Amino acid sequence: MSSDSTTRVDSSKLTRIQKLAILLIMLGQESAAQVLRNLEEAEIEAVTAEMAKQTLIPMGLQQEILEEFTEVAIMASTSLRGGVEFAQTALEKAVGMFKANTVISRVAPSRAPVPAMRGLLDLEPRQLLNIVKSEQPQTIALLVSYLPPEKGSGLLTLLREGLREEVVERLATLGATPIEVVERVVAGLCERVSVKPTRAVNQTGGVKSAADLLNAVNKDLTKSILKNLDESNPDLSAAIRQKMFTFEDLAQLDVTSLQKVMREVDMRDLALSLKTASERLKEALLSAVSKRAAETVHEEMSFLTSVKLKDIEGAQMRILEGVRKLEAEGELDLSSLHETADAIAA
C-alpha cells in the first residue's frame, strides 16, 4: 500500500501489518529495529515489505495511526504497568512533545469509572470562555490542564490581562487533584451548557503544562505573561522558561545541530516559517542547508506574498516538533537553549 500527500486514506481499510509498517516508519529506525526484533521471521518479512512500499504518508493518516496505537498501548496498562507513560514516550520520539501531549490528551483513559470531561473537551475556546469567565483562576487552570495545548492556548488568549497570568501560575503549581474534586467541578461547568460529562482523563498540570501552553500562544502574549509572572512569582517564571523554547531560539544552535534539524524539515515549511523570522535566524537556518536548497527557499519565499500568520506559526511549530523529536532521541542537546530562555521576556 502506498500513498501520496494528497490522497485520503481510511485507516480502517488497512491491515494490521500495514498500520504497523506506517507506525514504525514514524517512530524511526532505532525504535523500529527494537520492535522488529520481537517479531517472528515471517512477520518481519511482511512488515518490512509494507514499509518498503510506503512513499509519502498523509498527515491525517499519521494522526489516525498514532491515536489507534496510543489507545492500544494505554489499554495495555490494565495488565502491564506504564501503559500511558510508554505511549507518551514513544509518541514524543515519533512526533515531538507538543503533538504527543495533544494525542495523549484525546485518548487517555479514565482514572475512575465515573465519567467527567469529554463534553467540555469538544467545545471551542470561545464557548469555554463563556463557561469559565466568572470562575476562579484555580478552576480555570484545572480545566486548562485537561485541554490539548492548542485549545488551551486559544482559551488563554481570550482571557483578560491579569487573569491570564494567574491561570498560568495556578497551572504551573497544580498538583494531583482528587478525581472526585475534578468530577464535581466539571459537572458544575457542564450544567451551564447542558453538556453531559462522559469520561474522566488524566491529570496533566504542572510547570511543563504551563510551558506547553505558552509555546502554543503568540510571542507577544507569551512575553506579557512571563513579564508579569516575573514580578509576582519570579522563581516560577524562571522554571517555566526552562521548560520552553521558541522558534527564534534555534539561532543559538551550532551548525552541526542545525544541519540535523534541517534534514527533517520540509522546504516549504522552512520558507513559510522564515517569513516572520529575524535576519539572524534566517541566516542561521539557511546556512545549515545546501546552496541549492537555500536558493529554493528564497524563491519560495518570494511567492509567499499573502500568508496568514497562523500558517506561518503552524510551520514554525512543525519545525519545533522535529527539534523536540531529535532531542527525545538524544540527537540534540538543548540545554544551552533552556539556560538562555530568559531572552524570551527581554
Residue 340's pLDDT band (cuts 50, 70, 90) = very low
C-alpha cell at 56: 509519502
The pTM assigned to this predicted structure is 0.41
Hey, which CATH number is domain 247-345, 3.30.1450.10, 1.10.540.10, 1.10.220.30, 3.40.50.880?
Answer: 1.10.220.30
Report the C-alpha gap between 77 and 158 in whole angstroms.
Answer: 37
* Mean of per-residue pLDDT scores for the chain: 74
Task: Give me the percent of the chain exceeding a pLDDT of 70.
Answer: 71
Report the C-alpha gap between 300 and 271 in whole angstroms.
Answer: 6
Mean pLDDT, residues 325-345 taken together: 63
Report the C-alpha gap between 22 and 336 in whole angstroms.
Answer: 34
- How do residues 158-169 score in pLDDT, each as one tens digit? 998 889 888 888
Q: Residue 7: pLDDT above 60?
A: no
More confident residue, 53 or 201: 53
- How do residues 83-107 score in pLDDT, each as one tens digit? 455 555 655 555 555 555 555 555 5
DSSP 55-84: -PPPHHHHHHHHHHHHHHHHHGGGTSTTHH
- How do residues 243-300 score in pLDDT, each as one tens digit? 777 788 888 888 999 999 999 898 889 999 999 888 999 999 999 999 999 999 999 8
Task: Give me the percent of the chain exceeding a pLDDT of 90.
Answer: 9
**Domain 118-242 grouped into CATH 1.10.220.30:** yes
What pLDDT, on a 0 to 100 scale, did the predictor assign at position 116? 52
More confident residue, 55 or 99: 55
Report the C-alpha gap between 42 and 46 in whole angstroms.
Answer: 6
Return the SS3 of 109: coil
